[in-house]
Amino acid sequence: MAQDYSFDVVSQFDRQELVNAVNQAQREIATRYDFKDTGASIDLGESEITLNGPSDFKMKAMLDVLQGKLVKRQLSLKILKPGPIEPAAKGTVRQKLELQQGIDDELARSLVKQIKLVSPKVQPRIQGDAIRVSSREKDLLQQVITALKATETQVPLQFINYR
């Protein structure tokens, strides 16, 4: 009796690493000379990060600081979906960065099509916000992983539960 091997394709991030990166960015902004007494702040919510700053230029500098801290903590910049810079109270500006986690249905369908093109012998199944790929041969699964890593998607992909 042949055994099936499988792995899951997911898009997720470590929440604690995100909290650490935001805290480091807040500390750097609080101590930098060009941000002194400007009221610049970074707030982490459940599903978004809010940047508050005095001007568009400072907002872009804050975003650069945050992105640098995310990269140092091995978090992909694809988890951030920046919204428009909008005016806020007292002449300040605000920008909301939506946190992307999970694979939506449209992306899941396109990934399943791509997996079937790479190797018709594997069986991809959409399971909520993940895709389970199974096959009787490990080599086919490794080909699929290699092909998906080479694919450019709007969310970062991880491969877990390789059995």
Residues 117 and 89 placed together within one structural domain of the fold: no
Domain finish residue from 76, 99, 122: 99
Residues 89 and 57 placed together within one structural domain of the fold: yes
- Predicted local distance difference test score (pLDDT) of residue 90: 86
Are 156 and 22 within 8 A, CB to CB? no
Residues 92 and 22 placed together within one structural domain of the fold: yes
Q: Domain holding 23: CATH number? A: 3.30.70.990
pTM for the complete prediction?
0.86
CA atoms lying within 13 Å on the CB side of residue 110: 9
Rounded Cα gap, residues 51 and 57, in angstroms: 12
Are 79 and 101 within 8 A, CB to CB? yes
The sign of the dihedral angle between the CA atoms of 76, 148, 101, 155 is: positive
Residues 24 and 95 placed together within one structural domain of the fold: yes
Residues 127 and 70 placed together within one structural domain of the fold: no
Strand 5-10 relative to strand 158-160, pairing: antiparallel
Residues 61 and 89 placed together within one structural domain of the fold: yes
pLDDT tens digits in sequence order for the chain, 163 residues long: 357 899 999 999 999 999 999 999 999 999 999 888 888 999 999 999 999 999 999 999 999 999 999 999 999 999 999 999 999 888 899 999 999 999 999 999 999 999 999 999 999 999 989 999 999 999 999 999 999 999 999 999 999 988 8
Q: What tokens appear for 136 in the block?
A: 């009787």
Domain finish residue from 46, 70, 99: 99
Residues 120 and 82 placed together within one structural domain of the fold: no
Residues 134 and 85 placed together within one structural domain of the fold: no
Count of the separate structural domains present in the chain: 2
Domain enclosing residue 24, as ranges: 15-99
Helix intervals (H) in the chain: 15-31, 56-72, 105-118, 138-150
Rounded Cα gap, residues 128 and 78, in angstroms: 20
For 46, the 3-state DSSP assignment is coil
Rounded Cα gap, residues 3 and 15, in angstroms: 35
Domain finish residue from 84, 99, 114: 99
